[in-house]
Amino acid sequence: MPFFLDKAIMEGEMLVNFLWFLGGALIYKFSSYVFGITTSVNLYTQTLISCLMVAKKIDEQALLSINAQYDLMKKEGLPIEQIENTKELNIKAHEFWRSMVIGTILSSCPASIRGALNFKDWKSAMKLLKE
């Protein structure tokens, strides 16, 4: 075989090897990107679930405090109408607090992760915690 054919064959093999290397590098880059996003979403979701658990505990304690306030108002002999008005205001304030917490959590999420969240309000967030 003439020497120039050996050189051409070797150059062709180098090109094929380079293309295999380039293909492997691109696949590695793509797969690490996909796995990185998946890991980030999972980590972010677990962090949000932990935040929701803390918010749930705060919510439970706030409800206990509100109920204790009503009991104290009854013991002090305040008029039922005043107690009911206070109760109504406290319920509205508590519902506002719940929606504010969920709104803050959702608005603080990156847009790329926000779509993966399975809750939009307090009720669906608490349902997520039960799962």
Structure tokens given for 65: 């405090």
Q: Which residues contact 53 (CB under 8 A, 6 or more apart)?
A: 129
| pLDDT for the residue 91 | 92
More confident residue, 15 or 96: 96
Structure tokens given for 47: 């962090």
Query: Could you count the other beta carbons within 10 Å of the beta carbon of residue 56?
Result: 15
Q: What distance in Å separates the CA atoms of residue 101 and residue 56, rounded to the nearest whole number?
A: 10
Average pLDDT over residues 64-87: 91
The structural domains of the chain, with segments of one domain joined by +, span 1-42, 50-131
Note the pLDDT tens digit of each residue in 101-126. 999 988 888 887 777 778 889 999 99
Note the pLDDT tens digit of each residue in 2-52. 554 455 555 667 777 777 888 888 888 887 777 766 777 778 888 888 999
